[in-house]
Chain A
Amino acid sequence: QSALTQPRSVSGSPGQSVTISCTGTSSDVGGYNYVSWYQHHPGKAPKLMIYDVNKRPSGVPARFSGSESGNTASLTISGLQTEDEADYYCCSYAGSYTWVFGGGTKLTVL
């Protein structure tokens, strides 16, 4: 049950795009198409942004997109807005009804 690997921080200017990577193993990210991404503003409830690697729940802007290659998943945010500044976490199903999160990435919108 080792945490998935994410960069500690990323940054971008308004209007730019950023990509956050999430590296796991064949026992989690690479083994299942069940990667999800969460946006977390401190003091608030985490919010589901992407599920099933690349699907967006209703209400999540199309600026948010997900992808996966092998054991690495990625979240791309296009057209950055100031309100996108938050912590982002990837999460993967890891079999036997267990899940594993990434260490989190702090997104700064400059």
Chain B
Amino acid sequence: QVHLVESGGGVVQPGGSLRLSCAASGFTFSNYGMHWVRQAPGKGLEWMASIRYDGSNKYYADSVKGRFTISRDNSKNTLYLQMNSLRAEDTAVYYCAKEGANRDLDYWGQGTLVTVSS
């Protein structure tokens, strides 16, 4: 079955950087678009970034554009999120999600917590 496992979260100072990973299994990773979605404490889900199945195109929410970079390595079945210039408001649980056939997010990981604090 589909399995997505995020890793790389932790505590980082404002202005710092962090790279999240999402290991995928149970499906042909290279055939599907992938997404990052986050949830700040006490807040709702926020779509952040997406990447096409082959990595050819990447798209971002305005809140992270220019600071975050989504990428993938289809040979390793892994999705990444490079986060730079982190701010306190980036504190959240970060989820990776697989895109389904109908512009939906049909499978999600359990999330990894990123805390931006001095």
Q: Using CB atoms and an 8 Å cutoff, list the residues of chain A in contact with chain B.
A: 1, 3, 32, 34, 36, 38, 40, 44-48, 51-52, 55, 57, 87, 89, 91, 93, 96-104
Q: B17 to nearest A CB, angstroms?
A: 24
Alpha-carbon distance A93/B35, docked complex (angstroms): 13
Among listed B23-31, B72-80, B82-90, B105-113, interface-contacting one = B105-113
B37: chain A residues within 8 A (beta carbon) = 46, 101
Write the nearest CB–CB distance from B52 to chain A, whole angstroms. 7
In the complex, what's the smallest C-beta–C-beta distance from B26 to chain A, in angstroms?
A: 14
Can you name 18 extra interface pairs (CB under 8 A) apart from A47-B108, A48-B104, A98-B50?
A: A1-B62, A1-B63, A3-B44, A3-B46, A32-B103, A34-B104, A45-B4, A45-B108, A46-B45, A48-B106, A51-B100, A51-B104, A51-B106, A89-B44, A89-B45, A91-B47, A97-B59, A100-B47
Does B118 touch A at the CB level, under 8 Å?
no
Q: Nearest Cβ in chain A — how far from B94, in angstroms?
A: 12
Q: How many A-B residue pairs have CB under 8 A?
A: 77
Tell me, in angstroms, the Cα distance from A47 to B57 when the chains sit together.
26
Q: Bound state CA distance, A91 and B62, in angstroms?
A: 17
Closest to A52 in B: B102
- B61 at interface, CB cutoff 8 A: yes
Say whether B45 contacts A40, CB under 8 Å.
yes
Q: Is the CB of A98 within 8 A of B61?
A: yes
A57 to B106, Cβ gap below 8 A?
A: yes
Beyond A89-B45, A101-B45, whether A51 also contacts B102 by CB under 8 A is yes
